[in-house]
Structure formats: structure tokens, C-alpha cells
Structure 1
Amino acid sequence: MAGLGTYCCSTFSSKSLRTSPLEFKSLTHRGGTVVGNPIRRRGLAIRAEVNYVSAEEAKELIAEGYTVLDVRDKSQFDRAHIKSCYHVPLFIENEDNDFGTIVKRTLHNNFSGLFFGLPFTKPNPEFVQSVKSQFSLGSKLLLVCQEGLRSTAAANKLEETGFQNLACIVSGLQTVKPGTLDSVGSTELQDAGKAGLITIQGKISAVLGTVLVCAYLFITFFPDQAEKLFQLAPTS
């Protein structure tokens, strides 16, 4: 149609979608006039991957400059922890006094607490903020716990917050052999999760095992003396 210019659509975008959130959509007249409005695009987020390592590989990471962040509860941390590490528990002891919590805490202490020495805990609401107050998002952090579950959960929380250089020990400190990592505490790292009656049971089993071994050796090497002892034993 005469008197009307012919229009065509063209798109101008940045060289990289990762670095620019804007794309321009414009109408270009043959005479050279450009009329356009920016269209907002969502940037492409690049998420870091958590690095899962063995105890030996963890030792190498520490030598390379990774900082150890222990996320276990205070009781396990006090029993044994890696030397010069930071402690920010993912769970803290639940001391709430509402009726429901009191009932749950009582049941827990009578079973898990008594037999396994596990404290009654709840998620630490200040965990992420506490870590961010001590470390920058670019810090190299090796997260550790006793079994590997809490460190994985903690790493996921920190990764979502923006931390990029995160690592965890597969299956936790229970897999660390004595002497592999410098530690502080009253026990070995792999035994820091053991408490309560289970430790007493373990000691009793060790004593009984020693007695049985000694009895077997005595009967084997001194059969005559052993027979005399059996004869002296009272019979029903």
C-alpha cells in the first residue's frame, strides 16, 4: 500500500545468555528508525555440585586449603573432632517446654537417649546464617558429620544459598580410620557416635570375649589342670 512503510521484526540479544538478562525486540523501518522495548529474561543460574570424597581424599582437600566444618551435635563434637575445625551444628538440643515436645523428649530419652546416647534435637534455625557470618560464598568447605546424612543435608542448604566449593565425606566420620586425620577428644573419630548403654554393652562383650579366649587356651594347653578344675566345680 502506497504511503505506508514496510516493517520487519528483528531481535538483538547479548552474546551470552548467562551474563545478560535482557533481550531487545524491535521494529525496524526501512528508513532506519528503530523502536524497541527491552524484554526481561530470567538469567540462567549455574549451581555448584557437592564433591563427595573418601577420608583419604578429604585429607588431601584439607592440605589444599579446605576448611573443615563440623555439623554434628555438641555431644558428638565434644567426644572427638578434627583438629582446628569449625563447629556449626545442623541440629541443636530441643529444650522447648510445650506439652507435645515434653512427651516426645521423655519418650526419646527413655529409648534412643538411654541406649544410644542421642540427644533430643531440632533443626538449627540459625545454621545458614551462622555459616555465612563466618565464611564467604567462595570459601572451600569440607562438611563432616558422623554418618554422612547431616553433612549432605547441610551442603544442600549452603549450595542453595550460593556456596560454590563444598565437599562431604562419604558415610561420614565413622569411616575414618585412626590416624588418618588429626583429631581432638576422648575417643577416635569413628567412635564419636557411640554412647549410652551400647558402649557398656560393647565393653561387656569385649571382657566376655577375652575370658572365653583365655579359657579356651587354658583347656588346650593345660588339659589335666582344666579337668581337675571341672571336677572341683559343684554339680546340681
Structure 2
Amino acid sequence: MAGICSSSTLSSVIQRSMSMGVKDQGCVFSNFRTSLLVETHSRRTIPGKPLHRRNVNIKAEVTYVNADEAKKLIAVEGYTILDVRDNSQYNRAHIKSCYHVPLFVENQDNDFGTIIKRTVHNNFSGLFFGLPFTKLNPDFVQSVKSQFSPERKLLLVCQEGLRSSAAANQLDQAGFQSIACITSGLQKVKPGTFDSVGTTELQDAGKAGLVTVQGKISAVLGTVLVCAYLFITFFPEQAEKLLQFAPTS
């Protein structure tokens, strides 16, 4: 028939016209990406195989930097500092002009199991290291979202680097696209690197409890012993006379 292309002619037209729409042999080939259409003079269409697009979601990666690189992110790229430590460490020392949303909050639950755990904690970790008894902040992501848009560039900081990594993972899953963390946390930041607020240096904000007292005692005692050793070495006669005044049992 005059109005319809033969199958061999149609195949030939398709092969010659794969990259563009061409009119030939009384047929029209359309190369729309949504579908493959072949039109005849009688306005009949032969549907081809549709091309399906794949939606690919590109997941942002968390960037880990040292203290000097972190300063460049803040000064050059406009990153905002978000401190995710607990209240006690934040109050001892924090970077000036930073924001604070703790990943862990104090656990004040009064169920029997929590009371037992809190008692054990307070008599060991709390007493010796000054660590508060905490639990995961259930409102962490929502609190961050209420202050920042997902497009905001955030530099997360904590004391050792573990909490900031965990917080970065939560924010990444929540849609935040530009997140960075300081490797090993503020404990590796040298004094004077950032302008800070608080009663101690940023690197010492995690130290509390009896450990800090024992540390000072050990330092003083060590200094006394070193001085005594040097005195005996360089002034043996004077040292011997002093020892004569020491009480004997």
C-alpha cells in the first residue's frame, strides 16, 4: 500500500535515522528521549521501547580537616562552627562565636535501671574523670535544622572527634550537604589557634575530676624529686649535712 512503509523499508529508515529525526521514504522517525515513534502518512504510530531515566542521588561526604585547615574553611569558605559537646565541656572552654547543640544531654531519667547505671557512673567515670552521665539528644537534628538550612556549611567540633563524626553522620542523612569535622577534636588544637571563651584551654576542656588534681600533685612531686636529685649530684657535701638533721628511727 502507498500509505504504509514495508517492514524492510521501515527498518532501513530507523537504522539511518538513529541520531536525528529524518523524513524519508514517506516515513517520519522521531528521536524523542521519552519514546521512539514512527509515523506513517496514515497517521498511524508504532511505539518503540521507552527510555527510562534513572534518578541518582549524590550523597555528600564529610570532610575531615586539621586545625589549620579548619581556620581556612571558616575564613575563606564561610563555614559556621557548631560545637556538639555536652554542657560541662562547652562551659569550660569553647571557640568564640560558635553555636552549641549538644549531641548528648544529661540523663535525668529515674527508672530503676538508669538509677543503677548513674550510681555506678558517678562513682567511677564521674568521680575520676568528671564525665557527666548522658544520653543521646533525641532533638539534635531538629534543633540544628531550626537554626540552619541544609545548604549551610557547618564545621562540627567536639573534644575527641568521635561525637562530631556521629553528629555529622546524622546531619548528612538529614540532608545537610557541606559538613566538616576536626580530626581528633579540640584536644589536638594548640593554644591560640582559635579565639576561645572559658576558664581553660580548648585542648584541656575534657579534663575534670580527681585526675586533674592527681595530675597537679604528680607534677609538683616530680619537680621536688628532680630538684633534690640535682642538689645531691652537684652539692653532695651540703646534701650530706642536711641529711644529718633528718630524723632516724
TM-score normalised by structure 2 residue count: 0.81
Q: Distance in 2 between matches of 1:126 and 1:184?
A: 26
Q: How does 1:191-202 map to 2 (within 5 A)?
A: 191-202=204-215
The structure with more strand, counted as a fraction of residues = 1
1:129 aligns with 2:137: no
Q: Which amino acid aligns with 2:232?
A: I
Does the 8 A contact of 1:24 with 1:36 survive in 2?
no
Equivalent pairs counted in the alignment come to 221
Q: How does 1:22-101 map to 2 (within 5 A)?
A: 24=34, 31-33=43-45, 43-64=55-76, 65-101=78-114
Unaligned regions of 5+ residues in structure 2, if any? Answer: 12-32
Q: In the superposition, relative to structure 1, how do residues 205 and 32 fare at CA in structure 2: closer, same or farther (>3 Å)?
A: farther
Unaligned regions of 5+ residues in structure 1, if any? Answer: 9-22
Q: Which has the larger displacement, 213-222 or 144-153?
A: 213-222
Identical-pair percentage: 74
Does the 8 A contact of 1:27 with 1:35 survive in 2?
yes
Show CA shifts across 1:96-143 (max 9, x none).
111111111111111111111111111101100110110111111100
Q: Distance in 1 between matches of 2:93 and 2:87?
A: 10
Number of the residue aligned with 1:153: 166
Q: Distance in 2 between matches of 1:50 and 1:34?
A: 50
Number of the residue aligned with 2:184: 171
Q: Which amino acid aligns with 1:58?
A: A
Does the 8 A contact of 1:90 with 1:127 survive in 2?
yes
Of 185, 203, 208, which residue of structure 1 is paired with 2:221? 208
Q: In the superposition, relative to structure 1, how do residues 95 and 36 fare at CA in structure 2: closer, same or farther (>3 Å)?
A: farther
TM-score normalised by structure 1 residue count: 0.85
Q: In the superposition, relative to structure 1, how do residues 222 and 96 fare at CA in structure 2: closer, same or farther (>3 Å)?
A: same
Of 175, 196, 214, which residue of structure 2 is paired with 1:162? 175
Does the 8 A contact of 1:74 with 1:89 survive in 2?
yes
Of structures 1 and 2, the larger Rg is shown by 2
3-state SS, counterpart of residue 118 of structure 1:
coil
Show CA shifts across 1:26-69 (max 9, x none).
77575542669989866211111111000111111111221100
3-state SS, counterpart of residue 81 of structure 1:
strand
Does the 8 A contact of 1:94 with 1:122 survive in 2?
yes
Q: In the superposition, relative to structure 1, how do residues 37 and 157 fare at CA in structure 2: closer, same or farther (>3 Å)?
A: farther
